[in-house]
């Protein structure tokens, strides 16, 4: 046949989070009530002043191509924000703005990974990491962490994963899917090994502003002197400002890598949407009250979810330090039947939960952790309440 899907794309796993969300949406469109905990997407509207800035930009004629790496004002604003928040100095030329943080990640792997290079990815991991590494000819090396260590990679585990081909360590803190976060000391211990083994580090910090209680976020590049040289930071506006649909993310990297990413992007996509870039600029430079308000709401939901999980029979979950996910341990509920349906793994559990009580979650296996399921609590308290009532009913249902 002249027209076949390439081997590399044929081998690609589609995003399980997007697939589960699409399934829940289709059921809703067919008139079913679904308690949808599938997607990690804030349910708030993008704050009004950000939308107004986008309208103003359109009206002012900012509707053309921009420089490939983004408008200078936004690159400068991102650099300034990192200086202010973390004391890290980056030149605007070290910031490249892309079509969402997912695109930023793809750019990083394309620009840094050579065929056969190994990228060490602690599991549970976000669904897109390993697939994007493979797309770029790299080899994901998955290192399983445990609930005992709060799903954090231990220094000895990192050491054991090292080979001659090790190129990069990928960290996501606060984590999607577990909500746990490394302390500065824990990051420091991993940084020491990265320095010793001459590894690059990709730190996905997209949830940095969604932190609860007394937990303190530290950007990876701050935990040891000189780390900026080997670190690429990924971030964006999707989660912090409820701007998932605007598609703006960015990388902060050494000059040479940023230039390579900008060149790649000039061939790949030209630039991210001009209007979205002006909206992102307003988000960063405008009042941050909206971030505090949304965080307040998320904190209430997290507390609600914590209490409800604690009262579920034989279900546990690590403490959620950040992000908006609960990663529940469902091992005690595998190998049994629910109203006649036998459930042996997390995929079957999530499927049966959806079929029997209309709750959409994402199976742990797609995050590299069988025996778990992810609940996104980026949804209203009333939906959470109805959904948790349904989960409780489900867990207590007869075989």
Selected from 172, 200, 320, 360, the binder of ligand PMP by CB under 6 A is 172
Task: Choose the contact partner of 15 out of ligand PMP, ligand GLU, none; CB within 5 to 8 A by kind.
Answer: ligand GLU
The verdict on 238 binding ligand PMP (CB under 6 A) reads yes
Of 162-170, 179-187, 236-244, 349-357, the window that binds ligand PMP (rule: CB under 6 A) is: 236-244
Q: Which residue has the tokens 């209430």?
A: 300
Q: Three-class SS of residue 112?
A: helix
Selected from 37, 90, 109, 126, the binder of ligand PMP by CB under 6 A is 126
> From residue 114 to residue 153, what is the string marking binding to ligand GLU with x (rule CB under 6 A)?
------------xxx-------------------------
Of 26-34, 97-105, 287-295, 308-316, the window that binds ligand PMP (rule: CB under 6 A) is: 97-105
Selected from 79, 97, 189, 206, the binder of ligand PMP by CB under 6 A is 206
Selected from 24, 40, 130, 360, the binder of ligand GLU by CB under 6 A is 40
Q: Which residue has the tokens 């598609």?
A: 247
Using CA atoms, how far residue 348 sits from 26, 341, 345, in Å, is 19, 9, 5
User: Tokens in use for 315?
Assistant: 């279900």
- Per-residue H/E/C for 347-360: HHHHHHHHHHHCEE
Selected from 19, 23, 27, 41, the binder of ligand GLU by CB under 6 A is 41
- As measured in angstroms, the least distance from the Cβ of 325 to ligand GLU is 8
- As measured in angstroms, the least distance from the Cβ of 366 to ligand PMP is 13
Using CA atoms, how far residue 323 sits from 117, 173, 242, 244, 320, in Å, is 30, 9, 13, 14, 8
The verdict on 17 binding ligand GLU (CB under 6 A) reads yes
DSSP result, 320-381: --BTTEEEEE-GGGSSEEETTEEE-SHHHHHHHHHHHH-EE-EEGGGGT-TTEEEEE--S-H
**C-alpha dihedral sign at 80, 86, 91, 94:** negative
> From residue 50 to residue 89, what is the string marking binding to ligand GLU with x (rule CB under 6 A)?
----------------------------------------
Taking the least distance from each CB to ligand GLU, the nearer of 17 and 66 is: 17
Q: What angle do CA 292, 202, 264 make, to 5 degrees?
A: 105
CB within 8 Å of 358: residues ≥ 6 apart: 27, 32, 33, 34, 35, 390
Task: Choose the contact partner of 119 out of ligand PMP, ligand GLU, none; CB within 5 to 8 A by kind.
Answer: none
Using CA atoms, how far residue 37 sits from 16, 17, 125, 377, in Å, is 13, 10, 18, 6
Of 100-108, 182-190, 368-376, 378-386, the window that binds ligand PMP (rule: CB under 6 A) is: 100-108
Separation CA 244–CA 247 (nearest Å): 6
The verdict on 374 binding ligand PMP (CB under 6 A) reads no
Taking the least distance from each CB to ligand PMP, the nearer of 35 and 102 is: 102
Task: Choose the contact partner of 236 out of ligand PMP, ligand GLU, none; CB within 5 to 8 A by kind.
Answer: ligand PMP
Separation CA 285–CA 189 (nearest Å): 34
Selected from 24, 39, 200, 221, the binder of ligand GLU by CB under 6 A is 39
Separation CA 17–CA 362 (nearest Å): 6
Taking the least distance from each CB to ligand GLU, the nearer of 18 and 76 is: 18
The verdict on 236 binding ligand PMP (CB under 6 A) reads yes
Q: Which residues bind ligand PMP (CB under 6 A)?
A: 40, 100-102, 126, 172, 176, 204, 206, 236, 238, 244, 249
């Amino acid at each position: 046949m002249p027209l076949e899907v390439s081997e590399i794309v044929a081998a690609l796993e589609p995003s399980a989070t997007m697939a589960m969300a699409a399934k829940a949406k289709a059921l809703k469109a067919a008139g079913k009530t679904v308690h949808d905990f599938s997607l990690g997407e804030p349910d708030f509207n993008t704050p009004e002043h950000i939308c107004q800035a986008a309208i103003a930009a359109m009206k002012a004629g900012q509707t053309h191509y921009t420089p490939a790496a983004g408008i200078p004002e936004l690159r400068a604003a991102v650099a300034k924000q990192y200086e202010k928040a973390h004391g890290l100095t980056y030149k605007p030329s070290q910031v490249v703005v892309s079509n969402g943080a997912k695109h930023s990640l793809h750019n990083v792997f394309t620009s840094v990974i050579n065929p056969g290079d190994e990228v060490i990815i602690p599991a549970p991991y976000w669904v897109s990491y390993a697939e994007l590494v493979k797309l770029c000819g790299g080899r994901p090396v998955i290192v399983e962490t445990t609930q005992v260590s709060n799903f954090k990679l231990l220094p000895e585990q990192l050491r054991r994963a090292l080979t001659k081909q090790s190129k990069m360590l990928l960290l996501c803190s606060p984590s999607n899917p577990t909500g746990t976060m490394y302390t500065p000391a824990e990051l420091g211990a991993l940084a020491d090994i990265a320095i010793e083994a001459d590894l690059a580090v990709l730190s996905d910090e997209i949830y940095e502003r969604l932190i609860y209680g007394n937990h303190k976020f530290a950007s990876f590049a701050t935990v040891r002197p000189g780390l900026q040289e080997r670190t690429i930071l990924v971030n964006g506006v999707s989660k912090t400002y409820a701007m998932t649909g605007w598609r703006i993310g960015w990388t902060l990297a050494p000059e040479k890598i940023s230039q390579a990413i900008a060149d790649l992007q000039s061939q790949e996509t030209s630039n991210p949407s001009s209007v979205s870039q002006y909206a992102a600029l307003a988000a960063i430079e405008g009042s941050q009250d909206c971030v505090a308000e949304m965080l307040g709401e998320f904190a209430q939901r997290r507390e609600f979810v914590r209490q409800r999980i604690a009262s579920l029979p034989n279900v546990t979950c690590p403490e959620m330090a950040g992000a908006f996910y609960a990663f529940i341990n469902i091992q005690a509920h595998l190998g049994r039947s629910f109203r006649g349906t036998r459930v042996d793994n997390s995929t079957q559990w999530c499927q049966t939960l959806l079929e029997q009580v209309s709750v959409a979650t994402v199976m742990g296996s797609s995050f590299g952790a069988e025996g778990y399921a992810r609940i996104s609590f980026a949804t209203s308290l009333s939906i959470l309440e109805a959904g948790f009532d349904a989960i409780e009913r489900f867990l207590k249902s007869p075989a």
